[in-house]
Amino acid sequence: QALAQGSGTLHAQGRPEHPAPPAPLGGGMSASPETAGEAAGGANEAGSGAPAAPLAGRVGRGLLALLAAEALLVVARWRTADARGALLMLTVVAVGALAVSVGPRGSVDEVYGGYYGLMALVSGLLDLNLAIENFVWGEWRHVRGSSAKISLASLARPMMYQVCALAQLLSAFVAYLLYKDAERDGEFDASEPVLATPHQARIYNAVLSHSERRASGQTSQPAILAPVKPFAGSAHRLP
């Protein structure tokens, strides 16, 4: 009866008989403006970094097309009895194919891509020099000595050299773009913080301070030494 009267008194006063369970620590907390700003900043960074992958994919596909065109130009130079130029250009194409095959799927290896860009630049400049030299010192002298007009057959070799030089110089530029893109991605990964959110930073600081307190507490306690036992044997004097 006393328990019934006590519960009736509690109901009459408007107090619940059983208290409500406490709310979880993180459930009822509202997001602070700093947290919302950080979340928005992270979303903006994710949105800004999204177009990087399609750019690398487009440049990689362009490099594949240039490699295919250079392979056809190698065959054309071999058919026109330019064996040295064909072998040199074949070496450049082989390094480019190695950069594409060794790299991850859908991208080009940075190291071999850099080698390919340098070799394509040097080979393209050599072909451009050959085109100018062949036209100026060969065909132009022949045309100046005779009254005949310039024929398309006489310009075939210089034009082929120019096309080869243009393809290789463009390949060197594409390789440079890929290298700069990979370098920018590496700098972004290096500058990215290890602790992404303030919550993770607080947890890390709490664990670190707790471990430091435990270490300092262990060093502050004096070491317990064993009690010294007196000598109980017989004494002897050395001669």
Check: CB of residue 167 under 8 Å from CB of residue 92. Answer: no
pLDDT at 33: 44
Q: What pLDDT is stored for residue 172 in this prediction?
A: 92
CA atoms within 13 A on the CB side of 119: 18
155: its two tokens: 């310009």
Residue (of 89, 85, 110) closest to 100 by Cα position: 110
Q: How far apart, in Å, are the Cα atoms of 3 and each of 6, 8, 17, 197? A: 5, 9, 12, 52
Q: At 34, list the tokens.
A: 């700093």
pLDDT for the residue 17: 47
**For position 127, what pLDDT does the model report?**
92
Query: How many whole angstroms separate alpha carbon 200 and alpha carbon 198?
Result: 5
CB within 8 Å of 36: residues ≥ 6 apart:
none
Q: What pLDDT, on a 0 to 100 scale, did the predictor assign at position 34?
A: 45
Q: Which amino acid is at 189?
A: D
Across the 239 residues of the chain, what is the mean pLDDT of every consecutive 10-residue run? 46 47 44 44 43 58 87 91 90 90 75 89 93 76 56 75 92 87 62 62 80 68 68 77
Q: Where are the domains of the chain?
A: 56-187
Cα–Cα distance between 139 and 145 in angstroms, integer? 10
Cα 147 from Cα 153, distance rounded (Å)? 16
| pLDDT for the residue numbered 71 | 92
Backbone angle region of 106, left / alpha / beta, with phi > 0 → left and psi within -120 to 50 → alpha: left
| pLDDT confidence of residue 88 | 92
C-alpha triplet 202, 208, 211: angle, nearest 5°: 140
pLDDT, residue 207, reads 82
Quick one: pLDDT at residue 148?
Answer: 52
| pLDDT for the residue 92 | 93
